[in-house]
Amino acid sequence: MKRILLFGNPNVGKSAIFTRLTGVRVVASNYPGTTVEYLRGKTRIDKKDIEVIDVPGTYSLYPDSPAEKVAKKIIDDSNPKETVIVNVIDSTNLERNLNLTLQLLSTKFPVMVLLNFWDETKHKGITIDSNNLSKLLKVPVIPTVAITGYGIQELRERLSEAKPSGFKIKEKDTWNFVGKIIKKVQVIEHHHHTFLQVLEEISTHPVMGIFFAGIVLLLSFAIIRLIGEGLIGFVFAPIFENLWAPVLLKLSAFLGNANILHKILIGELIEGKIDFYQSFGLLSTGFFIPIAAVLPYIISFYFVLSILEDTGYLPRLAVLMDRLMHQIGIHGMGIVPMFLAFGCNVPGVLATRIMETRRERLIAATVMSISIPCMAQTAMIFGLLGKYGFKGIAPVFLTLFLVWILIGKIMARYVSGESPEIFTEIPPYRVPHFQVLLKKVWLRVGWFLKEALPFVLIGILLVNLFYIFGFINFVSRIFGGLLTNILGIPAEAIAALFIGFLRKDVAIGMLAPLGLSMGQLITASVVLTMYFPCVATFVVLFKELGFWDTLKSSAIMISSAVFVGWILNLIY
Amino acid sequence: MISLLEARKNVPLIVKSISRGEMGMRGIGGRGRGGGGGGGRRNWCRRFSNMGIREGVIIKKISMHPFFGPVIVRVGNCEIAVGRGMASTILVEEVNE
């Protein structure tokens, strides 16, 4: 035996079992030719290294979604003589889970069944006769509790007992057969509602759920800020200031101050020192911004997202947001990329992959890049307009929200393709498994570094070159006059707009010393947020949407930014 | 036999059939297309069935979100959110206990 495939429905605790088996050496990769990710790791059983694959959650072997197609492909690409399928079942949902089990038993592979969440059956008044189930299915059946590790040792010891069961059952008879099995092995008694179940009811209630969601989201953002700023202030910024800056200063002295290589790599020295926010070199600002300013927020965002995901809150949020999201032609699950975009648009755009169709992805990515300010931008908007209080800040976010709805509505009307309805399981609330959670955050951050960081650096290099060779000045002189007339902000501020392509938050910062009026600041903040995504997001958009859709998306962004800026100029 | 949309909340309902009619095919957005999860009715029937919604099963309607929001259905020990268009194709009858 060389390989274990962990198969199961979504939300059955497969990842926790996977983590129990494999420890730390885990690789996440896209299955060849798809955007679906799956996890691979290694475990040692009987002094042999065995590959363990966490197959994407699937309800059946007749695939309906990209993830299920990958699950099917993994089976097709495995050798039945060297592979054992470990089928993880949610014991509180035996009936539905057995559908997949019977399909797996009909393959040539040796199968072993794990009854996970075994402890929860007691709270829910469910009794399952696992020995009898094992006899009926003709394969080993082991009760497990992945979070505590209960049953994992037995799984290791009895893995060799797994054998092909030789079941032959037609698709149409499967459910009948499941029904018969259930009658023989499962007894359900009435039980009282637990605290978590009361919470479950509240959180999907059409009215109370909204309040609950408000609290959860506020709390989430507070935690994200706390962790993000903590990481920047106490970890990343000190590392850059104390360790990296001296290295760069040495390099600067070595290169000599005036040549072009110095300009590209280090940028300008501010009062003889490296200023990581203003030097604009590839190794100074170019490294600092994605790693020390954005990455901490990515880490904290992924941490909170993983908690929301593993407790089971995300699908509930999706249900509540479904109506709102339909306004822009995507269903409730679209809230996930939107939520991420508030941290940074880059992972937001990457997360549009969870949407099923091209139309949904194009709408979600465009609308998000236009009207969702990332954490850095939000902070700068507050910095600029905070002194005016509510009447300064509210118009910015209100405008952005209206733009979000309007552009979404227009795109939903004119972008062709399908928008499926929401159809999702709402799993019970569960306490997340901390190790699984950390591993997930770690994998996601690694993925961000691999998928996004190189492109961000390339983008920054390009813009630096444009800037050094006067291209940006040239462009802002050509369009400056026109934009000044339309937007009603002075020419110096227009230069900030073009810098905005590099770093929007820095651009907003450039507006501070110009002494603009409140109306001008509001206009500039909105236009800056809308007109174009930062270079990092742009590169990722290009990667995810392809050339034509990025072009469409950009055209929508620029024209709508100018239009909205013009309207705001008329109002103020 | 009534559609799930018209059924009462929190009473046991037996699934009679998944409608073959065109209702619900219109779904949301997209120039009157959409619904069905990108793959026609057969496909969507199977998706129901994979989640445990099929003829003869007892389900409960937990809530229906306003303004054409999704319907929450309880099947066995789990809850499922179903878009209105898809939900309207589930035909049920109340079970008298």
Cβ atoms of A357 and A420 within 8 Å: the answer is yes
Q: Are residues A133 and A258 in the same domain?
A: no
The fold adopted by the segment(s) B2-94 is: SH3 type barrels. (2.30.30)
Q: Do B28 and A423 touch (CB under 8 A)?
A: no
With a cut of 90, say whether residue A115 has pLDDT above it. Answer: yes
End residue of a domain, out of A188, A204, A219:
A188
Helix (H) / strand (E) element for A29: namely strand A26-30
| CB-defined contacts A:B, below 8 A | 138
Parallel, antiparallel, or unpaired for β A141-143 and A126-128? unpaired
Query: Which of A22-31, A191-200, A455-464 has the highest average model confidence (pLDDT)?
Result: A191-200
- Provide the pLDDT for residue A367: 93
Neighbours of A55 (CB within 10 A): 26
Q: Do A423 and B31 touch (CB under 8 A)?
A: no
Q: Are residues A422 and A460 in the same domain?
A: yes
Tell me the one-letter amino acid at A289: I
Cα nearest neighbour of B43 on chain A: A64
Residue A116 CA, distance from chain mean position: 27
Q: Do B35 and A420 touch (CB under 8 A)?
A: yes
- Pairwise CA distance, residues A347 & A300, whole Å: 12
Q: Are residues A207 and A177 in the same domain?
A: no
Q: Which residue in A423, A424, A430 has the most chain B C-beta atoms within 10 A of its own C-beta, making it the best mutation to test that interface?
A: A423
Q: Are residues A118 and A214 in the same domain?
A: no
Least confident range from A257-261, A262-266, B46-50: namely A257-261
Work out the pLDDT band at B26, boundaries 50, 70, 90: very low
Name the nearest CA neighbour of A476 among A489, A494, A502. A494
Identify the CATH number of the domain in which residue A155 sits: 3.40.50.300
Adjacent-strand bridge partners of A51: A3, A42
With a cut of 80, say whether residue A319 has pLDDT above it. Answer: yes
Tell me the one-letter amino acid at A524: A
Cβ-based contacts of A320 with chain B (< 8 Å): 65
Name the nearest CA neighbour of A322 among A403, A248, A426, A220. A426
Please write the tens of the pLDDT for every residue from A531-540.
877 777 888 8
Q: What's the sign of the alpha-carbon dihedral A242, A248, A253, A258?
A: negative
With a cut of 90, say whether residue A60 has pLDDT above it. Answer: no
- Provide the pLDDT for residue A154: 94
Least confident range from A315-329, A411-425, A499-513, A514-528: namely A499-513
Adjacent-strand bridge partners of A350: none
- Provide the pLDDT for residue A272: 82
- Provide the pLDDT for residue B24: 42
Cβ atoms of A88 and A155 within 8 Å: the answer is no
- Provide the pLDDT for residue B39: 44
Neighbours of A183 (CB within 10 A): 9
Q: Which of residues 348-367 of A touch B (CB under 8 A)?
A: 356-357, 359
- Pairwise CA distance, residues A535 & A551, whole Å: 14
Number of compact structural domains in chain A: 2
- Pairwise CA distance, residues A527 & A362, whole Å: 21
CA–CA distance from A297 to each of A25, A52, A270, A300, A375 (Å)? Answer: 25, 32, 26, 5, 8
Please write the tens of the pLDDT for every residue from A125-148.
899 999 999 999 999 999 999 888
A96, A200, A359 ranked by CB distance to B52: nearest: A96
Q: Are residues A249 and A360 in the same domain?
A: yes
Residue A97: both structure tokens together: 């889970």
B31, B51, B68 ranked by CB distance to A425: nearest: B51
- Provide the pLDDT for residue A508: 66
| Selected residue with higher pLDDT from A417 and A56 | A56
- Provide the pLDDT for residue A191: 75
Domain extent, residue A109, equals: 3-188
Q: Are residues A538 and A416 in the same domain?
A: yes
Q: Do A204 and B79 touch (CB under 8 A)?
A: yes
Residue A298: both structure tokens together: 């990515």
End residue of a domain, out of A153, A188, A223:
A188
Residue A119: both structure tokens together: 């402890």
Q: Are residues A258 and A245 in the same domain?
A: yes
Cβ atoms of A420 and A356 within 8 Å: the answer is yes
Cβ-based contacts of B86 with chain A (< 8 Å): 421, 423
Mean pLDDT of A250-269: 83
Least confident range from A183-197, A484-498, B27-41, B43-57: namely B27-41
End residue of a domain, out of A188, A203, A236:
A188
Q: Are residues A476 and A489 in the same domain?
A: yes
Name the nearest CA neighbour of A86 among A425, A170, A78. A78
- Provide the pLDDT for residue A109: 93
Q: Do B70 and A332 touch (CB under 8 A)?
A: yes
Cβ-based contacts of A362 with chain B (< 8 Å): none
Q: Do B30 and A420 touch (CB under 8 A)?
A: no
Q: What are phi and psi of A115, to 5 degrees?
A: -95, 90
- Provide the pLDDT for residue A502: 64
- Provide the pLDDT for residue B42: 53
CA–CA distance from B67 to each of A62, A174, A203 (Å)? Answer: 34, 37, 18
Query: Could you state, in order of their start, the residue ranges of all structural domains in chain B?
Result: 2-94
Task: Tell me the CB-side half-sphere exposure of residue A417, using CA atoms within 13 A.
Answer: 16
Work out the pLDDT band at B31, boundaries 50, 70, 90: very low
- Provide the pLDDT for residue B30: 31
Q: Are residues A235 and A121 in the same domain?
A: no
Q: What percent of chain A has pLDDT over 90?
A: 28
Residue A501 C-alpha, separation from nearest chain B C-alpha, in angstroms: 32
Cβ-based contacts of B31 with chain A (< 8 Å): 413, 416
Q: Do B81 and A322 touch (CB under 8 A)?
A: yes
- Provide the pLDDT for residue A194: 78
Backbone angle region of B70, left / alpha / beta, with phi > 0 → left and psi within -120 to 50 → alpha: beta
Q: What is the DSSP letter of A244?
A: I
Q: Are residues A130 and A229 in the same domain?
A: no
What is the DSSP track for B9-61? TTSEEEEEEE--SSTTTT-SSSTT---TTSSHHHHHHHHHHHTT--TT-EEEE
- Pairwise CA distance, residues A78 & A66, whole Å: 19
Q: What is the DSSP letter of A260?
A: H
Cβ atoms of B71 and A88 within 8 Å: the answer is no
Q: How far apart are the first and last CA of chain B?
A: 17
With a cut of 80, say whether residue A504 has pLDDT above it. Answer: no
Work out the pLDDT band at B37, boundaries 50, 70, 90: very low
- Provide the pLDDT for residue A284: 84
Q: Which of residues 74-93 of A touch B (CB under 8 A)?
A: 92-93
Q: What's the sign of the alpha-carbon dihedral A112, A117, A123, A124?
A: negative
Mean pLDDT of A256-262: 79
Q: What angle do CA A134, A137, A142 make, to 5 degrees?
A: 35
Across chain A, what does the average pLDDT equal?
A: 86
- Provide the pLDDT for residue A545: 87
- Provide the pLDDT for residue A326: 87
Burial of A136 per CB tally in 10 Å (0-12, 13-18, 19+):
middle
A59, A124, A356 ranked by CB distance to B50: nearest: A59
- Residue A206 contacts B where some CB pair is shorter than 8 Å: yes
- Provide the pLDDT for residue A540: 81
Q: Are residues A510 and A451 in the same domain?
A: yes
- Pairwise CA distance, residues A446 & B15, whole Å: 46
Cβ atoms of A351 and A337 within 8 Å: the answer is yes
Q: Which residue in B4, B25, B42, B78 has the most chain A C-beta atoms within 10 A of its own C-beta, making it the best mutation to test that interface?
A: B78
